[in-house]
Amino acid sequence: MYLKYSLTTLLTTILSFTSIARAATTTQGRNFVYNGAPKYLAGTNAYWLSLLQSNANVDAAMAEIAASKAFVVRVWAFSDVNTPSDDIYFQQISADLSGNQTKLNEGPNGITHLDYAIQSAERHGLQLILPLLNGNPDFGGVNAYCTVFNCDSTTFWTSEPAQAAYLNWTETVITRYRNSPAIFAWELCNEPRCPGCDTNIIYNWAATVSAHIKSLDPAHLVALGDEGWLCAGGDGSYPYQCTNGVDFEKNLGIATLDFGTFHLYPDAWRESAQWGNTWITDHDAIGARVGKPVVLEEYGAVVGGEVDASAEEGWQATVLKSNVAMDLYWQFADSALDEGKEDQYSVQVGASDFGDLATGHANAMVGKAVG
């Protein structure tokens, strides 16, 4: 039979075979083993890639990210509602539903959008970090569960019905995508917090859930997805006071968590840009003590309503001098997309700072010697 392929089809097929051949990322000491070799990595956040109406926009963004030399993209694998709407959502949580009171949305405004984002990442040679829950109210998160299961940000972590529903979601996502070569890591939650709680609550929850995820998918990495709150050291400022019930160093010791994450927003925390360098080196030191990779997973700074490129370049220089395994700026944006999710921290394609903050830094990280 004679088959005629277009150039686009041929290139897509080649990219698909290339991505399928890529091995799952693992760890070696304080580094990631990416495509068979230990490397320092760089990436970006683009949480909204699973929430776009247009597949063409997903592909355009993935192509731009790949061209910027990023290896890893962090994308939301959650969008929870209590009442269905025309907006994109993946899961309904409602007292009106039977069983664990959740329902997967397989309609045109549902999980197929996450499907497509993962398929596009495969075609573009990218890997994804997929958080399974939001500690913040955006896109449902803990609040959506607690609306139904009568809990709050302090009791969600130990609520049996809420946890049953959440674990059902983790199983749905992980069994659906665990064979994809685009998976870099699963994350338990974006920015979990338990204000005023004993740190054992989040610790025990993270140990239980990460072990469950490993039982479903032992091949891929697992992380908590926290902001890196500390309970000692530093200058005694808010991020070091254990206020949110999260102890980064303690949690990093959990055997079924493969790497640690920390975030950096000094302006929101009423700290200086220079303070951010200490935050980075303190987490690097903890990674050295525990012997695992640590990742600066989100960072951003603004001045006068614009991205503070000077501050971010300074943090990137500190990362390069350290043994931090990877960093992901918040966030990639392209104003040419008609439904992008820009915010004040967005680093825009084509902006004067994009070359340095995105492509230039990614090249420097990947070119850094391991050893």
The 3-state DSSP class for residue 206 equals helix
Cβ count within 10 A of residue 97: 13
| C-alpha to C-alpha distance for 59 and 120, rounded to whole angstroms | 6
Check: CB of residue 197 under 8 Å from CB of residue 154.
yes
* Cβ within 8 Å of residue 23, ≥6 positions away: 35, 36
Q: Which of 191, 227, 249, 297 is labelled catalytic?
A: 191
Q: Do the strands 80-81 and 183-187 form a parallel or antiparallel pair, or are they unpaired?
A: unpaired
| C-alpha to C-alpha distance for 124 and 285, rounded to whole angstroms | 34
CA 117, 122, 125, 131 dihedral sign is: positive
For residue 358, which of 319, 313, 325, 323 has the smallest C-alpha distance? 313
Q: Is 271 an active-site residue? A: no
Query: Quick one: tokens of 342?
Result: 């820009």
Q: Which of 187, 297, 298, 312 is labelled catalytic?
A: 298
Check: CB of residue 41 under 8 Å from CB of residue 296.
no
Check: CB of residue 117 under 8 Å from CB of residue 61.
no
| C-alpha to C-alpha distance for 182 and 130, rounded to whole angstroms | 10
Strands, sheet with 80-81, edge to edge from the N-terminal-most edge strand: 80-81, 91-93, 102-104
Query: Quick one: tokens of 146?
Result: 């607690």
Query: Apex CA 343: angle with CA 153 and CA 59, to 5°?
Result: 100
| C-alpha to C-alpha distance for 339 and 24, rounded to whole angstroms | 31
For residue 81, which of 134, 129, 156 has the smallest C-alpha distance? 134
* Residues with a known catalytic role: 191, 298
